[in-house]
Amino acid sequence: MKDLEKIISILKQRGFVFPSQEIYGGFKGVYDYGPLGVLLKNKIKNLWIKDVVFRRENIFLIESSILGLRKVYEASGHLEHFHDLLIECRSCHQRFRADHLFEGEYGEVSYREGKALCPLCQGELTEARTFNLMFKTYIGPVEELASEAYLRPETAQGMFYNFKNVLNSMRPKLPFGIAQIGKAFRNEITPKNFLFRIREFEQMELEFFVKPEEAPKWFEYWVEERFNWYLKLGFKKENLKKYVYPKEELAHYSDATVDIYYNYPFGFKELEGIANRTNYDLKRHSEYSGEDLSYFDEEKKERYYPYVIEPSVGVDRLLFAVFVEFYDEDEIDGEKRNVFRFPPFLAPIEVCVLPLLSNRENLVKKAEEVYKDLKDDFICVYDDSGSIGKRYRRQDEIGTPFCLTIDFQTLEDNTLTIRDRDTTKQERIKIEEVKDYLREKLKF
C-alpha cells in the first residue's frame, strides 16, 4: 500500500496542497492549493470540460452563484433531507456520523446493558440526532427567515433553476446538457482522509436532460462514458469499480445511482456518482417558483418535464486519486527516487529547461533563450541551481515528464537532449523540432 503520510508530506513540501490557515492552528476539512496544485487542478478541470462539453454537441457550460435562496433548497429537498445522523460521546465529546460509527470506521462498537459505547473511550453515547449539512447565512443586516440563504451543497441546483434561461437562449433540443464546475460546501460532521471528505470542495457536474422514456438508456451511456474517462486519464482498471446502489440507499431525488469507486489508501470509495434524477428537480422548482420549467417537444407536440442524468465528481477527490494513482518510488543508480508518473497531459509542469552547467555563461544564455521561446506554448520552468542529477530528481518528484538539457553539443549543432521522467533515458533532437515533439507527447 502506498504511504499516504509520505505523499501528503511531499504535496505540502513541493507546493501542491497546504492545510488551510495552518499558522492559526489549522482549519479541519479545509485545504488550500499551492502553485503546483492549482496547475494540476486546472488541468483536470480543463480535461473534463474538453471531454464532457466541447467534444460533444448540445452541452452548455454555465456558472451559477454559490449563494442560494432558502426557497431553492426548500424546492430541491435539501432542507428536509440533506441530513446526517450525529452521535456524540458524553465523555470524550468525539462526534461521529452514525452510519460511519456502526459500519466500524472507528473500530468495533461494544455495548453495555444494550447501549452502544464510544469506540475511542468506552464512554456513554448520546442519542442520534439529525444534523443538516448545509451552511446557512443571512443576506443583509437582519437575521430572519426571509433573509436566510445557503452556500450551495452541490452545483446542480444552479443548472435546474437556469433550465429555462439556457433553453430560451441556446434553443437546444433534447437530449442536451448543462454543465458546471464550481465550489460546493457541506458542513461534514467528520471531515477526514485528506481531500476525500472536506467541507469546501469543487464539483464538476453535468445535468443531461433527456426524454423520460430514454432515461435508462442514457443512464447506462453516461456510466460507461465516465468509467472509461478514468481509464483515458491513465488510471489502472483494477483500481476502479462500479457500485450499484440498492433502492434503500438512493438519495431523495434519485431513481438509480451507480458510483465509480477508486481504490484509495483506505479502501475502495466513491469518486464519482452517476444518478438518474428523474424529473424531480424541474418539477419541484416549477412548483416552488411558479415558473413552468417544462419542455415543449416539437416532434411529439407534447409538453413534459425531461428526465435528467447526472454525472457528478469532486475535483479535490479526483485530485487525491490522481496523487495516489501516479505516485511511485524507484531506484536510479542506487539512489531512491520519489516520482509522480502523471501522464504528460496532466503534469502541472510540462517541461523544464536546464543548462548542463550553471557556471558556463554560454550554456546559460542558450538555455534561457530556449526557455523563453517554449514558455509561450507550454507550462515550462527553468532550473540552473544545483547538480544536474539533483535538478532531474526535483522535477521527477513533481512529475515533470520532460527535461530539456542544453549541453556543449547544443552550442555546436543546435540540438538538445530530452530526458524522459519514467525511463530517465535521453534522446537528442534538434531545437527546431522540440515544440512538435512536445505537442505530440502532451496530447489528450
Chain residues binding ligand GAP by CB under 6 A are: 154, 156, 186, 188, 197-198, 201, 203, 205, 270-273, 310, 312-314, 316-317
Distance in Å, CB of 201 to ligand GAP, minimum = 4
C-alpha–C-alpha distance, residues 138 and 150, integer Å: 8
Distance in Å, CB of 91 to ligand GAP, minimum = 28
Q: Would you say 193 or 424 has its CB closer to ligand GAP?
A: 193
Closest-by-Cβ residue to ligand GAP is: 314
Q: Would you say 16 or 402 has its CB closer to ligand GAP?
A: 16
User: Which residue intervals of 67-203 are DSSP H helices?
Assistant: 70-75, 78-81, 98-102, 156-161, 163-170
Q: Are 170 and 209 in contact (CB under 8 A)?
A: no
> In Å, how far from its chain's centre is CA 170?
28
Distance in Å, CB of 65 to ligand GAP, minimum = 16
Distance in Å, CB of 316 to ligand GAP, minimum = 5
Q: Would you say 88 or 154 has its CB closer to ligand GAP?
A: 154
Distance in Å, CB of 42 to ligand GAP, minimum = 18
User: Which residue intervals of 34-171 are DSSP H helices?
Assistant: 35-48, 70-75, 78-81, 98-102, 156-161, 163-170
Q: Are 178 and 166 in contact (CB under 8 A)?
A: yes
Q: Are 68 and 147 in contact (CB under 8 A)?
A: no
Could you tell me which of 42, 56, 132, 94 has the C-alpha nearest to residue 347? 42
Query: What angle is formed at CA 333 by the lines to CA 331 and CA 337, rounded to 5 degrees?
Result: 30
Q: Would you say 270 or 420 has its CB closer to ligand GAP?
A: 270
Distance in Å, CB of 199 to ligand GAP, minimum = 7
DSSP letter string, 320-340: HHHHHHHEEEEEETTEEEEEE
- Residue 165 has what DSSP assignment? H
Q: Would you say 310 or 383 has its CB closer to ligand GAP?
A: 310
Q: Would you say 246 or 290 has its CB closer to ligand GAP?
A: 246
